[in-house]
Structure 1
Amino acid sequence: MKRSHTLIILFIFLVYITFNLNNYIPKEYNHIVYFIINIISLIFALTIILGNKKVESKIAWTIFVLFVPVVGFIFYMILGVEYSRFKKFDKETLSEKDIDKIFYQPFNDYQNIIKKLGKRGEIARLVNRIGKSPISDNNMVKVLNNGDEKFKYLLQELEKAKTFIHFEYFIVKEGIIFDKIKEVLIRKAHSGVEVRFLYDDFGCVDLSKKIIKELKNNGIQVACFNKINFRLFRPSINYRNHRKIVVIDNRVAFMGGINIGDEYIHLDDYYGFWRDSHLLLKGTAVKDLNIVFIKDWYHTTGTLLDNKKFLKEYKSNNKKDIVQIVSDGPHNNVDIMRNTFIKLINEANKRIWIVTPYLILDNELSMALKLAAASGVDVRIIVPGLYDKGKKIVYRATESFFNELLEYGVKIYKYQNLFIHSKILIIDDDVASVGTVNFDYRSFDLHFEVTAITYSNSVVQELIESYKKDLTNSTQVMYEMWIKRSIKQRIIESLVKIFSPLL
């Protein structure tokens, strides 16, 4: 039986027991049991209120544990406990700061690049200060539209590997495209190339043990990021590695929104055409992205890949694209990605164009977008026209933010009747972010994410043209029509919005 099926059965069993307590407790003890449940509810509520969560999350969790006591306890212990911002990493020999000192040069060495950026240098300086995010100006950035283009280039570059392949994904699904990739990885491992395969335990819940064993038996080093466990108050289901990274010989790298699965090459009957975006990188930024992998590999295996071959830089001879690699995770005490995006939004003078499959905003991000739109900046957001499989409630949560954004002049578009999975933020004509970050609580608070900020006009212009094409395939949500939606839909939106920080 697959682990995903086991988890579903366990969840159904717990819910059944919860709503049938009366059948298992003698009547004379009912008042005692419910008194204890109420006391526990208050303890949980106080713990949440005094914790470090954002206000929106505190409200949602407090309502949940008070009004749905036993189920609320179970959910909170599995999904709500912060584990002190992922303290697991603090037990390791080397801290994140220690690793940064080994790999990253002082930011003063980047001053020439900062001067080139002019006013945009303020963004790069802030992002480096809060996230130790390196920046380089000798890169080639190629935008890859959709899975078919991404996998064409990926397979070509994998064939060229001579020294190492670092492969890190949130979701890997067995199928046509994975079989092609697996065949190349195994063949390269047999030829002496060091192949490391890092997968997330939750995202790859359906990846069979047989496949893992096959990879290991063929010389591939395999590691599972943050294995799921249900130890009391130490659950790990929430803190997931949402990154999608491939680094080959430090010569070329891939990153963006596209996981490994046949739906990404339009072979899923439910989704049909799957719209997505990815980047191919060459230059110093490849080494910077490889350091993100090296950190994740160390946190997972305890092995630090500090050999010079993993830190070698290959400069791009043809282009001089400026790229800053930004990574974040729940182990950081600073909200690196959220603060980066807020800074980018606040710096906009002409446009803020966003593509995101999930739109669940906190007050800070929501207000930043609304104020920008109200001040005359062209703020546009493209979201899917089709909800993600099994995530209809998340889609309703996305829609629950439409009204307040539309009132301030934000333009919202639904991508045909299809799913769009790109994660893009375009600022004016000269700055853009492409990576794994959704505009939701999970990406900003719970997941390990990575994005590439490019300060190159040519790359940004390419993204703008791609965005315009997506607009022609989208339907604008008009405020005059949206306010006429049914009372039933309004009620659903209001209820979902309260609990949206939990989704």
Structure 2
Amino acid sequence: MVRLLDKGRRGLLRGIFSRMTVIALLLIVQLLILVATFDWFNQYQVHVQIIGAIIATIAVLYLVNSEMDRLSVITWMLLIIPFPIAGSLFLLYTKIDWGYNGLKIALNKSMADSQPYLVQHSQILNELKLSHSTTYNLASYLGGDGDSQYFPVYKNTKITYFPSGEAKFEALKKELRAAKRYIFMEYFIIDEGMMWGEILAILEEKVAEGVEVRVMYDGMIEFSTLSFDYTKRLEKIGIQAKSFSPISPFLSTYYNYRDHRKIVVIDGEVAFTGGVNLADEYINKIERFGHWKDTAIMLKGEAVDTFTILFMQMWSITESKEAIDYGSYLGNHQKASSSDGFVIPYGDSPLDEDKVGENVYIDILNHARDYVHIMTPYLILDSEMEHALKFAAQRGVDVKLIMPGIPDKAIPYALAKTYFKTLIKSGVKIYTYTPGFVHAKVFVADGHKAVVGTINLDYRSLYHHFECATYLYQNSEIPKIEADFQQTLLDCEEVTLEVVKNESPYVKLLGYSAKLIAPLL
């Protein structure tokens, strides 16, 4: 009994004096200082009202003339009109983006340093132009027609599609065991359990063989799945490790930008991406929100170069003083198989003005003739994406969306349902996966276009996260992606207007209330 009490006291003390507690307390102190500042202003109400009216007018003029989407403008106005000074200062704070300028400078330098290694072969681009003009135009947007491109079009790349996390897991272990030079892993979530345990054991073996291993994960998971010292724990066994944007005791918009990518690169010859993180629910070893439906793809050949560069770019901007020789990590691809289609791996960054992930999705919708079939866990749309979905359906395109039947988050799911009525009226067909949760991020269209990656149909993925995906055109795996969609559809129920009408008043109220702050979710 005494031992249990002592153990409990030690646990309590560790909790009180933990890094998480200290960070939380310091953040609370900063929030209290801000509140006290606003309260001090309120002591001079007459002057504050005049100043507030002037500031609010300037802020509203800025919003009306900005390039923000309509819903974001409305959200900010709902904050600024009742709280002119506080709301306007908050808007100014987010636009100045203190704390992220250094990150942006580092990323721009990394992109400039690595750009010469992403070279577009003009022969492939010309072949694509002769094959399909709209896909050629998309390729031109992703990389441009110059000698060097950020996201080139490749051939000579073998693609393997995985319709589940379990299938990806088995293939990943096989490829990791075959590594000779290096292993790079970048994930949004890593959680200790069977999946990560088996992978970590392989990584330890590879380190002992002299293989260079680097692991990077998003710093937010230090509050949920991994300890704050986990990078040091990995380093002790010979793995180079970093967490992206770890939480520190300083208020900053920097924390809004998360690394949502899932990338594995092995020897510059093999790459993986898709929705599957390194946690047991992704392979249904444990049950969270019913059966977990996810997807991934594996690339072998020339297109792996883009994922190699994407990983090294992120590695270099996370407080790294290492001078990276990008060329030394690219594969030689001498044994690359000739592919039967075109492959464009690409990334998206929240640190620029270009919404690459959303633009690729909209391009698919705008040029579809027969169908666009989509799997996504979330549906929080800006006006451009909502219009593209509706307009495609109104043109007679068969637009189908598969979403979770068992959601992981109540508020975003209620918010997603606020779009159902207008989408269905436009001809979009929406289905829910009754066995559980859909985490896949898949677009497939007309039998010859597809995207598999990490990019959800929500504000966080489209605006605030580092993301990645692979665009496929005329590739033999595309029919397999469509077949997987159709197979998944067998376990789904269609959402009809009657279903929407009979939704509970509580869910409707929650959804419409959340829509007021949708850009913040």
After TM superposition, the score normalised by the length of structure 2 is: 0.85
Q: Which residue of 1 aligns with 2:155?
A: 137
Give the Cα separation in 2 of the matches to 1:442 and 1:283: 31
Say whether 1:501 aligns with 2:519: yes
Aligned to 2:76: 61
Counterpart position of 2:137: 122
1:396 to 1:312, Cα distance in 2 relative to 1, 3 A: same
Matching residue of 1:468: 486
The one of 217, 222, 225 equivalent to 2:244 is: 225
Q: Distance in 2 between matches of 1:286 and 1:304?
A: 22
Q: Could you tell me how far 1:228 is from its partner in structure 2?
A: 2.9
Q: Which whole-Å CA distance do the structure 2 matches of 1:45 and 1:85 have between them?
A: 27
**Inter-CA distance 475–49: structure 2 relative to 1 (3 Å threshold):** farther
Q: Is the 8 A contact 1:45 1:65 kept in 2?
A: no
Query: Does the aligned pair in 1 maintain the 2:274–2:453 contact within 8 Å?
Result: yes
Measure the CA separation in 1 of the matches of 2:26 and 2:92. Answer: 15
Instruction: Answer with 351-360 or 39-48: which moved more.
Output: 39-48
C-alpha distance 31-496 of structure 1, shift in aligned 2 (>3 A): same
Q: Deviations over 1:439-493 (max 9, x none)?
A: 1111111111111001134211000000001111111001233234455544333
1:381 pairs with one of 398, 401, 408:
401
CA distance 1:487–1:177, change in 2 (3 Å): closer
What letter matches 1:346 in structure 2? N
SS of 1:334's equivalent?
coil
Paired amino acid for 1:183: A
Q: Percent identity?
A: 32
Q: Deviations along 1:53-78, whole A, 9 cap, x unmatched?
A: 43321321331354478997998799
* Equivalence for 2:301: 283
Q: Would the alpha carbon gap of residues 16 and 161 (structure 1) be closer, same or farther in structure 2, given more than 3 Å must change?
A: same
The letter for the 2-side match of 1:317 is S
Equivalences for 1:65-76 in 2 at 5 Å?
65-67=80-82
1:363 corresponds to which letter in structure 2? S
Q: What residue number does 1:208 align with?
A: 227
CA shift for structure 1 position 332: 2.2
1:452 aligns with 2:458: no
Alpha-carbon separation, structure 2, partners of 1:220 and 1:378: 48
CA distance in 1, matches of 2:389, 2:196: 39
The 3-state SS of whatever aligns with 1:413 is strand
| CA gap 1:100/1:17 in 2 versus in 1, 3 angstroms | closer
Letter in 2 for 1:270: R
Kindly provide the CA deviation profile for residues 29-83 of structure 1, in whole angstroms up to 9, marking residues without a partner as x.
97547975995697478547626543321321331354478997998799x5562
CA distance in 1 between partners of 2:381 and 2:283 (Å)? 30
- Kindly indicate whether the alpha-carbon contact (under 8 Å) linking 1:327 and 1:449 is maintained by their aligned counterparts in 2: yes
Question: Quick one: distance in 1 between partners of 2:50 and 2:469?
Answer: 44
Q: Please report how far the alpha carbon of residue 90 of structure 1 lies from its aligned counterpart in structure 2 after TM superposition.
A: 4.3
Task: Find the aligned partners of 2:364 and 2:308 in 1 and give their Cα distance.
Answer: 25
Equivalent residues of 1:148, 1:264 under 8 A apart: yes
Name which of structure 1's ranges 209-218 and 483-492 shifts more when overlaid on structure 2: 483-492
Equivalent-residue separation in structure 1 for 2:472 and 2:46 (angstroms)? 57
When structure 1 is superposed on structure 2, of 482-491 and 464-473 the one drifting more is: 482-491
Tell me the amino acid that sits aligned with residue 117 of structure 1.
Answer: S
2:106 alignment counterpart: 92
Deviation at 1:214, TM superposition (A): 2.0
The change in CA–CA distance for 1:90 and 1:74 in structure 2 (over 3 A counts) is: closer
Task: Tell whether 2:293 aligns with 1:267.
Answer: no
CA distance in 1, matches of 2:192, 2:98: 35
In structure 2, do the counterparts of structure 1 residues 304 and 422 end up closer, same or farther at CA, with 3 Å as the change threshold? Answer: farther
Structure-to-structure mapping, 1:299-378, within 5 angstroms: 299-300=317-318, 301-314=320-333, 315-317=335-337, 319-378=339-398
Q: Which runs of 5+ in 2 are unaligned?
A: 1-14
Q: Following the alignment from structure 2 to structure 1, what is the Cα–Cα distance between the partners of residues 123 and 62?
A: 42
